[in-house]
Every structure is written in C-alpha cells, then in structure tokens.
Amino acid sequence: MSKQKMSAEDKKMVNGLFWNSFLLEASYNYERQQALGFSVGMWPAIKRFYKTKEGQAEALKRHMAIFNTTPHMVSVISGVTAAMEKEASENKDFDKDIINNVKVGLMGPLAGIGDSLAQFCLAPLFATIGASLAMDGLIMGPILFFVAMNVILLAMKLLTGMWGYKLGTNIIATLSTKMEQISNIASMIGVTVISG
C-alpha cells in the first residue's frame, strides 16, 4: 500500500476521526479495554468507505477486538487503519485480518512513545516552568502548564492522524527505523528537565 493523497474529503474524514477519538476511553472496560471507543471513533471512515449496512457492521465488529493505547497517539493508528479500510473496501482480495494485526502491532510501541513524550518529556518540562512561576506568586504558572500541555498534545493528535492516513501501512517501516531515535530524544529531554 502506498502513501495516500489527501483530498478535501480525506481531510474532512481525518478531522472526523480526530473528534471521534475523544470517545476512546468513554466506555473503557476490562474485557476489551478501548475497543468500543476505537470502533465508534472509526465511524467517519467506515461510513465513507462502506456503503452497505452489512459492510459497515462487519467493519465496526472488526474494530471490537481488544485495543489499548495512549489517547495522544490513537490518531496515528486511526489514520493508518482508515487507509487500510479504504484499501479493503476497494480491493476484494485484501486480507481484512491484516487491519487488526497492524492495529495490534502499532498500539504498544506508540503507547510507549506517547507516554514517554507526554509524561516524561512535556509534563516535567512545563511543570518545572509552571512551578517556578507559581513559586514567584504568579497565577500564570499553572495556566501555562495546562495550556501548553493541551495545545501541544491536541496539535500532535490532529497532525499525526493526517500523517498516519497519508502513510498508510508504510508507517510500520517508517516508525521501526525511527523508534529508537524518538525514544532516546524523549528520554534525554526528560532527564535534562528533571536534573535541571
């Protein structure tokens, strides 16, 4: 599968995936964890690519397999999955089992990257800056922490969804070559901030 070109309809669909991704943990449970939220989150793509009720039901059911990742990185997986659903809807010979295999293969490593970035890089950085401002009696400290964390994580969530859709299944090769580099950078920044 090659890189997807983004039309206006594609961008609208990816934006729909972004907004629906906030439902990811709305129905978290111990049997399938975030599966129901992910399945509902995929609705804009499923509705677009499958025109029959049977096709839509099959796709929704396929996404009810156990799923669990960090909410900040789910858009990458949604984008890649949407690209694969497009391929599956257009190509009758496409093995639909690959869709869940790729999802499962991405959810663990991306959860590690997302957690490292959010909790060990951005949070210590902005908490340190916010705490030093708060110690000087400035209300801007906690506000800076709240705004900076949310703006960066939301922007990352939106942009990675588009990136995931554009790359399609090529994201696996791209991430595998950069995984160690991303992890090392996040660790260095986190250690630097904590030691500072």
- pLDDT given at position 18: 92
Closest by CA position to 76, among listed 140, 133, 24, 27: 24
CB 154 within 8 A of CB 163: no
**Strand, helix or coil for residue 169:** helix
CB 106 within 8 A of CB 73: no
pLDDT category of residue 4 using cuts at 50, 70 and 90: low
pTM: 0.78
DSSP state of 33: B
CB 157 within 8 A of CB 72: yes
Mean pLDDT over 56-80 rounds to 91
CA-to-CA distance for 140 and 146, rounded, in angstroms?
Answer: 10
Burial of residue 120 (CB within 10 Å: 0-12, 13-18, 19+) is middle
Indicate the average pLDDT of the chain: 84
Q: Which residue has the tokens 């000087």?
A: 136
- pLDDT given at position 1: 46
pLDDT digits 0-9 by tens, 73-129: 899 999 999 998 998 898 888 888 888 888 888 888 888 888 888 888 888 889 999
DSSP state of 4: P
